[in-house]
């Protein structure tokens, strides 16, 4: 229903409607020079009301983001991930303030992303944009906005903030493993977790969740079917469905792990204090081992061992498909994207080998290649 009135020489139009709960809503706009102009605006709003695209909820962009998080994500993600959502909310609140979500334009959002990217790395910008895009999509389904203002946004980031992942070469890996084995004590399990990471490429949460039922000493396999929630000290699901996997391991690792059975715990790496070493604990031990080996890698941390495991396999010519399955990736694309920098180095090594082969062709130009001659004409 529309109503019109003249105020200070200008026309004002007001639309009202009832939602499914019987609550009445209003939308008002003033400043029209003529009444026909006011009526044209009112007809546009009436059409939006009829097709369900009119905003029935006066909510800011930041507030909607927070509400969406509370409803759809809060109880499904880890505490660490929840901190990222909270950070995004604070950024939206700081930049957009109380601006209503149906008033945000693509230009507004592009400027926000540009500003955010000035102080953040590529991976962070892409992650934040992906989350916000999901929120905006939800707002469209809720009929709060008529179109997706995150569509075709150009992402920008601070290249200097991009973290270069350190990984160890084979000599360094062997040095750390040997140093790790020097003082093995089942009462303190951090060293065991570090060794397991080098031999398997498992994530820390996957290693922490291992029970003795997951290790098959006869078939030399370890099964990953859950991960560990350090905050609740309970099991949780793996990162994704593809993370559930069974991998082969060597007898040397199995012999080392078997010594932990003397702790009489369900969890393989539960120590004498009845706890599984935290990320801080294993990273502290890892830094100590690196220092003892005179290895200067300031950005090297526990998850970097996973990268070192990949480097070790790549440089020993293990097929990328086998590596992808061992890591628990959904497909090879994920593996090649995450470890592109390693594959580029491997490409350089392969290029040199290819060049060597071609050089040998030149030296053997007078020698017949061992190919069977054929008198038939190729089709």
State the SS3 of 182-214: HCCECCECHHHHHHHHHHHCCCHHHHHCCEHHH
Are residues 141 and 213 both part of a single domain? no
Residue 156 lies inside a defined structural domain of this protein: yes
The verdict on 31 and 76 lying in the same domain is: no
Is residue 343 in some structural domain?
Answer: no
DSSP string for residues in 236-297: E--SSGGG-EEEE--HHHHHHHHGGGGG--SBTT--TTSSPPPHHHHHHHHHHHHHHTT---
**181/310 same-domain check:** yes
Residues with pLDDT less than 70, the chain: 1, 18-24, 49-58, 162-165, 339-355, 357, 361-379
Domain residue limits at 216: 170-338
Q: Indicate whether 302 and 202 sit together in one domain.
A: yes
Instruction: Look at residue 353 in the predicted model and tell me its pLDDT.
Output: 61
Give the pLDDT of residue 347: 59
Which domain CATH number covers 83?
1.10.150.130
Cβ neighbors of 56 (< 8 A, separation 6 or more) are: 17, 19, 25, 143, 144
Sheet holding 2-7, edge to edge: 2-7, 10-18, 24-32
> Measured between alpha carbons, how far is 68 from 101 in angstroms, rounded to an integer?
13
Render pLDDT for 264-305 as a digit per residue (tens, 0 to 9): 999 999 998 899 999 999 999 999 999 999 999 888 999 899
Residue 148 lies in a domain: yes
Tally the domains of the chain.
3
- Note the pLDDT of residue 333: 79
- Cα separation, 17 vs 24, whole angstroms: 6
Domain boundary among 12, 30, 51: 51
* pTM of the entire predicted model: 0.62
Residue 377 maps to a domain: no
- CATH value at residue 281: 1.10.443.10
Contact residues for 86 (Cβ-Cβ < 8 A; gap 6+): none
What is the structure's pLDDT at 12? 86
27/174 same-domain check: no
Looking at the fold, whether 157 and 178 belong to one and the same domain comes out as no
pLDDT at 22: 62
Q: Does 101 share its domain with 123? A: yes
- Specify the pLDDT at position 376: 41
Planar angle of CA 301, 303, 309, nearest 5 degrees: 110
Residue 231 sits in the same domain as residue 329: yes
44 and 78 within one domain:
no
User: What does the pLDDT read at residue 378?
Assistant: 41
């Amino acid at each position: 229903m529309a109503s019109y009135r003249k105020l200070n020489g200008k026309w004002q139009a007001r639309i009202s409607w009832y939602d499914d709960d019987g609550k009445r809503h209003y939308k008002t706009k003033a400043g029209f020079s003529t009444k026909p102009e006011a009526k044209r605006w009112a007809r546009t709003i009436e059409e939006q009301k009829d097709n369900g695209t009119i905003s029935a909820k006066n909510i800011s962009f930041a507030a909607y983001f927070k509400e969406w998080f509370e409803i759809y994500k809060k109880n499904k993600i880890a505490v660490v991930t929840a901190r990222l959502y909270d950070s995004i909310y604070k950024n939206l609140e700081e930049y957009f303030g109380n601006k209503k979500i149906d008033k945000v334009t693509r230009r507004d959002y592009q400027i926000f992303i540009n500003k955010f990217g000035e102080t953040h790395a590529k991976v962070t910008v892409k992650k934040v944009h992906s989350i916000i895009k999901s929120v905006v999509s939800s707002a469209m389904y809720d009929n709060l906005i008529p179109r997706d203002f995150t569509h075709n946004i150009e992402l920008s980031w601070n290249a200097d903030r991009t973290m270069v992942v350190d990984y160890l070469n084979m000599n360094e890996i062997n040095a750390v493993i040997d140093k790790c084995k020097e003082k093995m004590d089942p009462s303190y399990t951090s060293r065991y977790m570090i060794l397991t990471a080098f031999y398997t490429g498992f994530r820390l949460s996957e290693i922490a969740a291992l029970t003795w039922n997951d290790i098959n000493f006869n078939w030399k396999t370890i099964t990953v079917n859950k991960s560990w929630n350090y905050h609740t000290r309970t099991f949780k699901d793996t990162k994704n469905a593809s993370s559930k996997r069974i991998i082969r391991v060597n007898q040397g690792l199995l012999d080392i792990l078997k010594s932990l059975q003397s702790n009489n715990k369900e969890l393989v790496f539960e120590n004498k204090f009845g706890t599984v070493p935290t990320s801080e604990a294993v990273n502290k031990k890892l830094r100590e081992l690196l220092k003892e080996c005179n290895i200067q890698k300031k950005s090297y941390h526990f998850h970097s061992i996973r990268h070192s495991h990949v480097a070790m396999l790549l440089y020993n010519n293990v097929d990328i498909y086998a590596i992808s399955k061992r890591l628990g990736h959904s497909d090879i694309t994920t593996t090649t994207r995450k470890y592109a920098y390693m594959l580029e180095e491997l490409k350089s090594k392969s290029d040199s080998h290819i060049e060597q082969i071609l050089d040998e062709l030149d030296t053997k130009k007078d020698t017949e290649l061992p190919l069977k001659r054929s008198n038939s004409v190729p089709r």
